[in-house]
A and B are shown apart, each in its own frame.
Chain A
Amino acid sequence: MKPSISAFIGKATLAAVAAAAVLGSAAVCAQTRGGTLDAIVQPEPPMLILGLNQQSPTQYVGGKIYEGLLTYGADLTPQPSLAKSWTVSPDGLTYTFVLQSGVKWHDGKPFTADDVVFSADKFLRVTHPRVRVVLNKYVESITAKDPQTVVFKLKEQFTPFLALFGTDNMTMLPKHIYEGTDFKTNPANQTPIGTGPFKFKEWKRGSVIVLERNADYWQKGLPYLDKIVFHVIPDAASRAVAFEKGDVQAIRGNDIDGVDSKRLQALPDVDSTTKGTEFYSTMTSMVMNERKPPFDNVKVRQAVMHAMNRKFIVNTIFFGLGKVATGPISSTTAFYDPNVTPYDFDLKKARALIKESGVDPKATPIKILAYPYGSTWDRLGEYTKQSLEALGFPVEIEATDAGGWAQRVSNFDFDLTFHFTDQFGDPAIGVARLFLSSNIVKGSPFVNNEGYSNPKVDDLFNRASSEGDKAKRQALYSEVQRILVDEVANAYLFEIKGVTMYRKNVKNLVTSGTGMNDSWAKAYIEPLKK
């Protein structure tokens, strides 16, 4: 009995593989194999080992070399990647992943469940600034049931767990290279080995990073491109010129200054999209230090919201590359609720609120700590100065660089500043960190630096992250949004809409919710018509 079943399964698999091969080759015919895609990486990443470094250029380049167990569609639903299927137990405590077969590391060694266990349990638990927090708090054990199956057991329920398995977060790293070594100083860190569609070829520091096609990629027939070249061009104006000249064929929104955006989009052979940012859904906020006057007074914070013309900020300062936010959760992620108190631009109301607050603006000077990420942010600081002065506050702007900014904000040494933060597909990962009172910790930026503390909000966030039922989660997050907006825990300015631009003959560049950080396995270049 047994042999015949396995023979049957064997035959079925063969048939399936054959069918897939036929479909695959049909797909190949439709696309064009070959070609080099030139892009820009900016700033130059410190290293390419995802898992050891999580800066955005590392994610961008590393996302072609490494893979996670899942990827995410534009609606942020999980899609198969290195895991072909997965199941969650009814109590929400056991996650079982079945891996793809025939996956190899770039050095030819097979990828197995042991690598998954090693990556999640040994490597990322120590090195990954975001994932380690979740792994150490919620995950009890990670085990390989067989070479194709991995089981994650949680201590308590954490509903957004599946949002954590993308390349940026749960990167798979080769056990045979890292086991028993000091991960951070392993010499192999200079030559990344992943499972992705592209292999690392060379890195001339200060000039280019070159990746080449992985001929043994587990998705047969993919990738289409032969080579990807990431150019390091430090000056924003020079980057715009490189794209305009056609020296590079694809740029991300933050590769160029906003001032160049419209002009380049209007070029005749250029296509653009604002898709592919859903997973990050970057939110821009004004952070007010709520430990001291005047921002310890909720009426003052509300007055500030009314005094800022956020449409003007988006359209004039940020060249229309955004959308006015209604609350702390971006409209492009799950659990967004638009039914919150609106703050329209209304100076009269703002002045009335200041009067109600009992604060004497003349006697409370405010210092704005400028956000050191380019001239648009300087303009935002200047506009904010003007708006606060309209309410009667004496305002001063302090300039700083990235290092100074991080240090002062981490030490709560500011009155008012700005930041933009990614939401990573779920409020429990990207939003809660900014408001939980347990996250009021000195020495770390992008946490609850404003000092907002509300036990009700803490409770709602905590319940929502372990609630399994989607409707109930929505109710909890809706209530959180109402409270945070009413109390102006942060001033929500706008959602950044990054524009990806590419030459018209470049296809399939942005296909998922992680956009340009995705693997580009299916990207191809159409030959120019003669």
Chain B
Amino acid sequence: MKFLTFLLSRLGKAAFVVLGVVTMNFLLIRLAPGDPASIIAGESGSSDPAFVAQLRQQFGLDQPLVVQLWTYLKGLLHLDFGFSYRNQLSVFDLIVDRLPATLLLMGAAFVFSIVLGIALGVAASKTRYVNRHRWLDSVIMSLSLLLYATPLFWLSLLAILLFSVQLGWLPAFGMETVGADLRGWDHVRDVALHLVLPTVSLGCFYMAMYARLMRSSMLEVMGMDFVKTARAKGVPAGLVIRRHVRRNAALPIVTFSGIQLGQLAGGAVLTETVFGWPGIGRLMFDALMQRDYLLLLGVFLVTSVMVVVFNLLTDLVYRLVDPRIEFGA
């Protein structure tokens, strides 16, 4: 019962947050100079002001801003995200078409960074704790520092140069081999191969974060009294780490993974651009450059809903990891 109240009240608040985000975005986008009509006219090399006026009228840009906002909000109630004039398609279709690619990339990068990050963090702290192979700790920490400080796009380009151009092991761009018409497992394998470089490029930064976070959190728990007690009773170090330390050290990771999921969409813009990955990150970037207002708003709406949902999930996971935490609205 407590859980249901919690969920309902959170969802109610979320709806208000999303409404606020939509309205703010709508107004903020209009502060940028230039509109779709002027861009299309510019790119067509037009010299006819009547043409530009005709485009504005077609896009509904000649209406007062409040009227445009009202029309947009009314449409949202029926899941009508509007029409992208640039792509000549409904915004909803465009996003639905591109969302799976982004979710796949985000999911892969998330799993990659969290699994590897935790493993590295645990390994580093363990070598320190049991006082053997302390050099491994230094190597892992230096590596994470390096990955933490390296710009994403630079890493991506280097990865392409090494693994695609020089070694020829992995494809450099796209999501699948064009025209191969692969089916079943061949298709899965093909997509997986294409997924490797973008996943690593997008995930490395967070992997480094997790490794450092996990290590320091582990070391902190290791210094606590209950761990000392367990050690004093003669429990082997490995068992202490598995039973007592790791679980207690995981909470900061949960907090941070919530933040990461929210930020992955932003990182995906760069990764998708460099690797030609057909996701919504690029859709958003193109829409911004082209002042494709409704498409941009649509992507913002979807990503903000995603962030809200991820935050909610994070709160639920807290409870799973540490049952002492209670649901509070």
B274 touches A238 (CB 8 A): yes
If A403-B39, A406-B38 touch, whether A234 touches B49 (CB-CB below 8 Å) is no
Q: Which of B44, B52, B157 contacts A54 (CB 8 A)?
A: B44
- Which B residues lie within 8 Å of A242 (CB)? 172-173
A402 touches B34 (CB 8 A): yes
A444 touches B41 (CB 8 A): yes
A446 touches B165 (CB 8 A): no
- Which B residues lie within 8 Å of A421 (CB)? 45
Q: Number of contact residues on B: which range applies?
A: 35 or more
A47 touches B88 (CB 8 A): yes
Q: Which of A129, A245, A400, A408 contacts B46 (CB 8 A)?
A: A129
If A46-B86, A241-B164 touch, whether A207 touches B278 (CB-CB below 8 Å) is yes
B49 touches A403 (CB 8 A): no
- Which B residues lie within 8 Å of A43 (CB)? 286
- Within the complex, the shortest CB–CB distance from B38 to chain A, in Å, comes to 4
**In the complex, what residue of chain B is closest to A421 when comparing beta carbons?**
B45
A406 touches B278 (CB 8 A): no
Contact pattern, B 268-303, Cβ under 8 Å of A = 1, otherwise 0: 000011111111001101100111000000000000
Contact pattern, A 420-442, Cβ under 8 Å of B = 1, otherwise 0: 01100000000001000001011
- Which A residues lie within 8 Å of B173 (CB)? 231, 233, 238, 241-242, 247
**In the complex, what residue of chain B is closest to A442 when comparing beta carbons?**
B49
If A46-B86, A47-B88, A405-B34 touch, whether A205 touches B43 (CB-CB below 8 Å) is no
Asked whether A146 is an interface residue with its Cβ less than 8 Å from the other chain, the reply is: no
A401 touches B42 (CB 8 A): no
B291 touches A403 (CB 8 A): yes
Asked whether B35 is an interface residue with its Cβ less than 8 Å from the other chain, the reply is: yes
If A235-B273, A235-B274 touch, whether A205 touches B97 (CB-CB below 8 Å) is yes
A229 touches B178 (CB 8 A): yes
Q: Number of contact residues on A: which range applies?
A: 35 or more
Q: Which of A55, A132, A237, A404 contacts B43 (CB 8 A)?
A: A55
If A205-B98, A406-B34, A407-B33 touch, whether A241 touches B86 (CB-CB below 8 Å) is no
- Which B residues lie within 8 Å of A401 (CB)? 34, 289
Instruction: Scan residues 87-115 of chain B and give those whose CB is less than 8 A from a CB of chain A.
Output: 87-89, 94, 97-98, 101
- Which B residues lie within 8 Å of A234 (CB)? 272-273, 276, 282, 285-286
A408 touches B48 (CB 8 A): no
Complex-state Cα separation, A11 to B179, whole angstroms = 45
Asked whether A326 is an interface residue with its Cβ less than 8 Å from the other chain, the reply is: no
Complex-state Cα separation, A54 to B43, whole angstroms = 8
- Which A residues lie within 8 Å of B275 (CB)? 235, 238
- Which B residues lie within 8 Å of A233 (CB)? 173-174, 276
B179 touches A408 (CB 8 A): no
Instruction: Scan residues 147-194 of chain B and give those whose CB is less than 8 A from a CB of chain A.
Output: 157, 160-161, 164-165, 168, 171-175, 178-179
Asked whether B32 is an interface residue with its Cβ less than 8 Å from the other chain, the reply is: yes
**In the complex, what residue of chain A is closest to B94 when comparing beta carbons?**
A205
Asked whether B9 is an interface residue with its Cβ less than 8 Å from the other chain, the reply is: no
Complex-state Cα separation, A404 to B288, whole angstroms = 12
A445 touches B286 (CB 8 A): no
- Within the complex, the shortest CB–CB distance from A436 to chain B, in Å, comes to 9
- Which B residues lie within 8 Å of A205 (CB)? 87, 94, 97-98, 278
Q: Which of A189, A208, A403, A422 contacts B178 (CB 8 A)?
A: A208
Asked whether A529 is an interface residue with its Cβ less than 8 Å from the other chain, the reply is: no
Asked whether A447 is an interface residue with its Cβ less than 8 Å from the other chain, the reply is: yes
Q: Which of A208, A210, A444 contacts B48 (CB 8 A)?
A: A444
Complex-state Cα separation, A407 to B41, whole angstroms = 10
Instruction: Scan residues 224-271 of chain A and give those whose CB is less than 8 A from a CB of chain B.
Output: 227, 229, 231-235, 237-238, 241-242, 244-245, 247
Asked whether B47 is an interface residue with its Cβ less than 8 Å from the other chain, the reply is: yes
Complex-state Cα separation, A109 to B237, whole angstroms = 81
Complex-state Cα separation, A157 to B272, whole angstroms = 52
Complex-state Cα separation, A152 to B241, whole angstroms = 88
- Which A residues lie within 8 Å of B45 (CB)? 54, 129-130, 421-422, 446
- Which B residues lie within 8 Å of A54 (CB)? 43-46
- Within the complex, the shortest CB–CB distance from B261 to chain A, in Å, comes to 22
Instruction: Scan residues 39-66 of chain B and give those whose CB is less than 8 A from a CB of chain A.
Output: 39-49, 51-53, 58
**In the complex, what residue of chain A is closest to B34 when comparing beta carbons?**
A403
Asked whether A21 is an interface residue with its Cβ less than 8 Å from the other chain, the reply is: no
- Which A residues lie within 8 Å of B278 (CB)? 204-207, 232
Contact pattern, A 207-223, Cβ under 8 Å of B = 1, otherwise 0: 11010000000000000
A443 touches B52 (CB 8 A): yes
**Supplied contacts A129-B46, A229-B178, A444-B51, 4 more A-B pairs, CB within 8 Å:** A53-B40, A235-B274, A241-B165, A406-B38
Please list the residues of chain B having a beta carbon within 8 angstroms of any beta carbon in chain A: 32-35, 38-49, 51-53, 58, 86-89, 94, 97-98, 101, 157, 160-161, 164-165, 168, 171-175, 178-179, 272-279, 282-283, 285-286, 289-291
Closest 8 A/B residue pairs (Cβ): A403-B34, A206-B278, A129-B46, A406-B42, A54-B44, A407-B34, A207-B278, A233-B276
Query: Would you mind naming 28 contact pairs between A and B with Cβ atoms under 8 Å apart?
Result: A44-B286, A46-B86, A46-B88, A53-B40, A129-B45, A206-B101, A206-B279, A234-B276, A235-B274, A238-B172, A241-B160, A241-B165, A244-B165, A245-B164, A245-B172, A400-B33, A402-B42, A402-B43, A403-B33, A404-B32, A405-B34, A406-B34, A443-B49, A444-B41, A444-B49, A445-B42, A446-B45, A446-B46
